[in-house]
Amino acid sequence: MSRAEDGSRLWLRFGQHRVASSRFSGIEADKTLFAVQELQKAWKQLYGNELDSKNRGKELLVIGTLHSRVIQSLKLDNEVAPLGNEGYVIKTVTSGNIRRTVIASTGKAGLLYGVYHLLRLIQTDELSDQLDIKEKPSYSIRILNHWDNLDGSIERGYAGHSIWKWEELPKTISPRYVEYARANASVGINATVLNNVNASPNILAKEYLEKVKILAGIFRPFNIKVYLSINFSSPAALGGLPTSDPLDPSVRQWWKNKVDEIYRLIPDFGGFLVKANSEGLPGPQDFGRTHADGANMLADALKPHGGIVMWRSFVYSASDEDRAKQAYNEFMPFDGQFRDNVIVQIKNGPIDFQPREPFSPLFGGLKKTAVMPEFQITQEYLGQGNHMVYLAPMWKECLDSDTYCEGKGSTVERITDGSLFNRKISAIAGVANIGEDTNWCGQDFAQANWYAFGRLAWNHRLSSEQIATEWLRMTFSDESSFVEPAKKMMLESREAVVNYMMPLGLHHLFAWEHHYGPEPWCDIPNARADWMPKYYHKADTTGLGFDRSMTGSKAVEQYYSPLREEFNNIATCPEQYILWFHHVPWNYKMKDGKTLWNELCMYYDKGVKQVKSFETIWNSLQSYVDSERFKAIKAKLAIQEHDAVWWKDACLLYFQEFSKQPFPVDIEPPANKLDDLKKIKLHMLSHN
């Protein structure tokens, strides 16, 4: 049995991996380097002592940039220089009787990432005798988006209040700020947006900028830049101007002055994230201007300082147009009109972080504009803080999708990392799941998604399996008899949640506002149609699903051939998206010969069975896990099983009212009655 743990150390549990001795006898490095200081802190936990700079025994660990004399003597310039300031080489070099393992980079940031890579190899017992590793990041900006508010609440947060204690800053500094920075740097995250995209203008007030300055100083050694979400109406709301029109000279001057003020306080400030003209927030359209007008005004103010604008494409209105089409229609007319320090931030799918969506057609559509993916680490639509859902497979599904915008091989991955269109900047964002809970993320398995986002942002070629293996070995146990079954559970978990919530392309069946449980029947008086589940599932006596084919909303037109034709034809549309793109008759014969109704029942039932299997697997692993975390995860899995049955029963009983068909004999019959399920109301999960 492992010793007691509370999950606070995340995957950086160096003390838990302590072994008797290291193969490294000493170190050659400038001890003032921050990377070396981080190494020594971890080394003391791993081995009980720091590496000796005077010992010249069996094997030396050498750390330095290309400016270092010892690195220069090893003639590694040609290997190291192409990897950039954040890239690094970890290489075993033998010269005479001296054996060295070298961590080298052109910059101090690369040394830090190289040190964390070496520590990861030690933690996962993957440190080979002959190392030859070359790494550089897939994206230049790898950023967490915190949806934290200035009052300490977190929109779509499920791990307690914000870790940013604005009322205490700048005088009182929480030790968690350094722990947060270290965790991010250890997986390659190099940027953070501190506040909610539904931003208060007050974040730009001098009082708050002084607080932001403190955080930026704490994060700086870890190579993490600070960004802020801004409210587009700040010139009027904060500055007292009569307008916030982006083409008004006084407004442009206000933003220039504000940006200059920020950079005087924070010289390496990253830039702004903007949600504008979306869900009631102000934006340039309030003044008859365009998204390009608004983004370019901010970009011009930031340009002299090297800052960027991340302009969100999550824009839709209460119109008759299919919501899935609106972002594409809104932004395509402005392709090529944005400044080169503007990057359009696009959610992975065209609706809103659903358990499964096809990739957004804006990836590939905007050929003349830098674009970046926005993933949601916090599980707003995926069981929130209660369900175990490993999200790397979802993100890989998006990144690996081929848009065909420049022919076969034009993947979302190649578009967003800048390689397909040779972009000046590349970025990837994850909406953070971090709060003040002791274990940071509300439930221990949710830590894997923070970890996975960072690792994929650093190297989008990594597999979901490799990342899960690393995380399990570092966070729990490196014994294969634990890792293999736990990994199986993780790798199946995303598909399981799709199965018990919304299989076959169903989407947005969630309860009003809090997005936790099922309410496919939801009908709020006077609410917008596109906030209601019925808008999306279109259930009737004929069938189920949203017709986005050429006979419906024509959303398939936004995709390139051959996807356009593939999605348009019900016979060739991938069945995982069939109810996304088609209104399918209840008796339609699926590829396995079952009718749609029977297939739907089978998937819901399968999802419940998968969650039950996760409970069985976890119970078998008790001897490998400390009792605190074992019991906490066991309790969460019990909630997940209850919720999976709730989802299955609610959806199938409701849809049965339209299909008029019996449940197949080979599935577990509903344990609840529809009238009882309709009475369930949750009010506390909206913005906790």
Is the Cβ–Cβ distance between 65 and 108 less than 8 Å? yes
What does the CA dihedral 580, 582, 588, 589 come to, rounded to 10 degrees?
Answer: -60
CA 526 to chain centre: 33
Helix 206-219 to helix 249-265 angle (10° resolution) is 40
**Number of other CB atoms surrounding residue 571 within 10 Å:** 6
So which residues are the catalytic ones?
Answer: 279, 352, 380
Q: 98 - beta bridge partners?
A: 95
CA distances from 7 to 433, 481, 657 (A): 15, 21, 45
Sheet-wide strand order for 88-95: 26-29, 60-65, 98-105, 88-95, 132-135
Task: Return the DSSP state at 662.
Answer: P
ω into 170 cis (within 30 of 0): yes
Structure tokens at 438: 């002791």
Structure tokens at 245: 């029109």
Closest-CA residue to 330 (of 349, 353, 314, 347) = 314
According to the 3-state scheme, what is the secondary structure of 497-519?
HHHHHCHHHCCCCECCCCCCCEC
Give the separation between CA 626 and CA 346, rounded to whole angstroms.
40
Give the separation between CA 431 and CA 273, rounded to whole angstroms.
12
Give the separation between CA 238 and CA 393, rounded to whole angstroms.
43
Closest-CA residue to 63 (of 112, 136, 6, 14) = 112
Q: 430 - beta bridge partners?
A: 144, 375
User: What letters, b where the CB count within 10 A reaches 16 and e where it falls short, cover 352-383?
Assistant: bbbbbbbbbbbbbbbeebbbbbbbbbbbbbbb
Is the Cβ–Cβ distance between 414 and 398 less than 8 Å? no
Structure tokens at 97: 């009787």
CA distances from 450 to 161, 455, 490, 565, 632 (A): 17, 9, 14, 37, 19
Q: Give residues with Cβ within 8 angstroms of 68, minimum separation 6.
A: 30, 104
Q: Give residues with Cβ within 8 angstroms of 385, minimum separation 6.
A: 158, 159, 379, 441, 442, 443, 446
Closest-CA residue to 370 (of 325, 290, 311) = 311
Q: Give residues with Cβ within 8 angstroms of 105, minimum separation 6.
A: 65, 66, 80, 83, 85, 86, 87, 88, 89, 111, 113, 114
Q: Give residues with Cβ within 8 angstroms of 200, minimum separation 6.
A: 149, 150, 231
CA 605 to chain centre: 29
Q: Give residues with Cβ within 8 angstroms of 386, minimum separation 6.
A: 443, 636, 639, 640, 643
Give the separation between CA 182 and CA 60, rounded to whole angstroms.
25
Give the separation between CA 498 and CA 502, rounded to whole angstroms.
5
Structure tokens at 419: 């390689």
- Following DSSP, what letter does each residue of 29-53 receive, concatenated? E-TTSHHHHHHHHHHHHHHSSPPPS
Is the Cβ–Cβ distance between 159 and 193 less than 8 Å? no
User: Which phi and psi (to 5°) does residue 446 adopt?
Assistant: -70, -20
Is the Cβ–Cβ distance between 104 and 71 less than 8 Å? yes
Is the Cβ–Cβ distance between 558 and 325 less than 8 Å? yes
